[in-house]
């Protein structure tokens, strides 16, 4: 690993200044992707900018509308230990508790997981299903982007030079609504997804009709996919087997996976269907239990 300089700015202004100083910089949140990449020579950065001393990036809170805003450098452990998030947004807990083991979750978070832009990232499907909005900052402005538009390809996100991810905003799902994240790996823990899926369902007050739905599938295309055909197969229908099976078919049709050491393309297509159906069943169960 080449020599680097390390900066630990305490304000966003100092981050933007450092990003503009002409050096090849990388940002450091929990470091569970970037430190490994630096050490294995997969990054040619000259300068590491640590984001963990910036208040806007290390805090999370619900606002008065019930939307949750998560700083891009908040570690998973702080999220899944929070009783309010466990209660109101259990799909975030589904994925946060599955990324690596405890050692990883102490440091890694949603911001790094998104910015690393792995097609198999485990937090993306749930965040897409929940309709999360990203706040992206630069020296001049803050812009908003739906999370499904953030990925351009494997390892490539939509940040421009000088921009950083500030926060992830998860809108209040409201009543009669729930989401669920599901992953398939050959072991019980500590592995990269062969396929994964995140779904959300919103029912009418009588709970006999689906008013809104979002289905996202991962590890089956260059980026996590928001499958609008799956949502169309659900919206307006009665929640249950028939609608869920149709959504599973739509997810399987949308998947364009590759074969690699973790699984074949055919297995991944099959998994997209099964994970989508099961995630929908479990999201429905969450609504019923509430």
Partner 1 sequence: MAVRRTQVQTTLNGEETDFLCEPRQSLLEVLRDELGLTGTKEGCNNGNCGACSVLVNGRVANACCVLGVEAENAEITTIEGIADGDKLHPLQQAFLEEAALQCGICTPGFIVSSKALLDSEPELDEERIRFWLAGNLCRCTGYDKIVRAVLKAAGTSDNG
Ligand X SMILES: Cc1cc2nc3c(=O)[nH]c(=O)nc-3n(C[C@H](O)[C@H](O)[C@H](O)COP(=O)(O)OP(=O)(O)OC[C@H]3O[C@@H](n4cnc5c(N)ncnc54)[C@H](O)[C@@H]3O)c2cc1C
If DSSP codes are grouped into helix, strand and coil, which group holds residue 112? helix
Binding ligand X (rule: CB under 6 A), the pick from 90, 109, 173, 248 is: 109
Judged by beta carbon distances under 5 to 8 A according to partner kind, the member of partner 1, ligand X, none in contact with residue 112 is ligand X
Size of site (CB under 6 A) for ligand X: 29
Q: Tell me the CB-side half-sphere exposure of residue 135, using CA atoms within 13 A.
A: 15
Q: Within 13 Å, how many C-alpha atoms sit on residue 207's CB side?
A: 12
Is 44 a binding residue for partner 1 by CB under 8 A? The answer is: no
**28 touching ligand X, by CB under 6 A:** yes
Our finding on whether 195 is near ligand X (CB under 6 A) is: no
Copy the structure tokens of residue 273: 């269907």
Region 40-69 residues binding ligand X, contact defined as CB under 6 A: 51
Token look-up 């589904």 returns: 94
| CA–CA separation, 125 and 236 (whole Å) | 23
Among 19, 34, 93, 250, binds ligand X (CB under 6 A): 34
100 in contact with ligand X (CB under 6 A): yes
Q: Choose from ligand X, partner 1, none: what does 263 bind? Cβ within 5-8 Å by kind.
A: none
Sheet strand arrangement including 195-203: 177-184, 195-203, 210-218, 225-226
Closest contact distance (angstroms) between CB of 141 and ligand X is 15
CA dist 211 and 243 (Å) reads: 13
Residue 165 Cβ vs ligand X, minimum distance, rounded to whole Å: 4
Please report which residue ranges of the chain form alpha helices under DSSP H.
12-19, 34-39, 55-58, 76-80, 83-88, 90-96, 102-105, 110-116, 124-129, 228-234, 241-254, 265-289
Rounded least distance, CB 124 to ligand X, Å: 8
- Asked whether position 107 contacts ligand X by CB under 6 A, the answer is yes
Question: Which strands, in side-by-side order, build the sheet including 133-137?
Answer: 60-62, 68-71, 164-170, 133-137, 142-146
Q: Are 167 and 247 in contact (CB under 8 A)?
A: no
Indicate whether 1 belongs to the interface with partner 1 (CB under 8 A): yes
Query: Quick one: what does residue 44 bind among partner 1, ligand X, none, with the CB cut-off 5 to 8 Å set by partner type?
Result: none
Question: Rule CB under 8 A: which of 68-107 touch partner 1?
Answer: 75, 77, 100-104, 106-107
Q: Tokens for 110?
A: 């949603």
Using CB under 6 A, list all residues that contact ligand X. Answer: 26-34, 36, 51, 72, 98-100, 104, 107-109, 111-113, 115-116, 121-122, 159, 164-165
Using CB under 8 A, list all residues that contact partner 1. Answer: 1-6, 8, 28, 31-32, 35-36, 38-40, 48, 50, 52, 75, 77, 100-104, 106-107, 188-190
């Amino acid at each position: 690993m080449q020599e680097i300089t390390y900066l630990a700015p305490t304000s966003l202004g100092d981050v933007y200044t450092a990003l503009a100083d002409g050096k090849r910089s990388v940002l450091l949140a929990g470091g569970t992707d970037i430190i490994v990449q630096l050490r294995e020579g997969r990054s040619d950065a000259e300068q590491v900018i640590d984001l963990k001393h910036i208040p806007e990036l290390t805090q999370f809170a619900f606002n008065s509308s019930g939307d949750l805003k998560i700083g891009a450098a908040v570690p998973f452990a702080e999220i899944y230990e929070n009783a309010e998030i466990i209660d109101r947004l259990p799909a975030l807990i589904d994925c946060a508790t599955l990324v690596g083991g405890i050692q990883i979750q102490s440091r890694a978070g949603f911001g790094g997981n998104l910015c690393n832009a792995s097609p198999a990232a485990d937090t993306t499907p749930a965040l897409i299903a929940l309709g999360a909005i990203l706040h992206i900052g630069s020296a001049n402005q803050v812009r908003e982007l739906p999370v499904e538009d953030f990925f351009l390809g494997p390892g490539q996100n939509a940040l421009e030079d000088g921009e950083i991810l500030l926060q992830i905003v998860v809108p209040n799902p409201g009543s009669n609504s729930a989401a669920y994240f599901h992953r398939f790996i050959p072991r019980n823990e500590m592995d990269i997804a062969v396929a994964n899926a995140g779904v959300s369902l919103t029912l009418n007050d009588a709970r006999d009709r689906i008013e809104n739905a979002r289905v996202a599938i991962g590890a089956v295309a260059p980026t996590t996919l928001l499958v609008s055909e799956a949502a169309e197969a659900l919206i307006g229908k009665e929640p249950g087997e028939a609608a869920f099976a149709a959504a599973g078919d739509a997810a399987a049709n949308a998947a364009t996976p590759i074969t690699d050491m973790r699984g074949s393309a055919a297995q991944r297509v099959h998994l997209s269907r099964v994970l989508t159906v099961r995630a929908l069943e479990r999201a429905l169960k969450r609504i019923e239990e509430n």
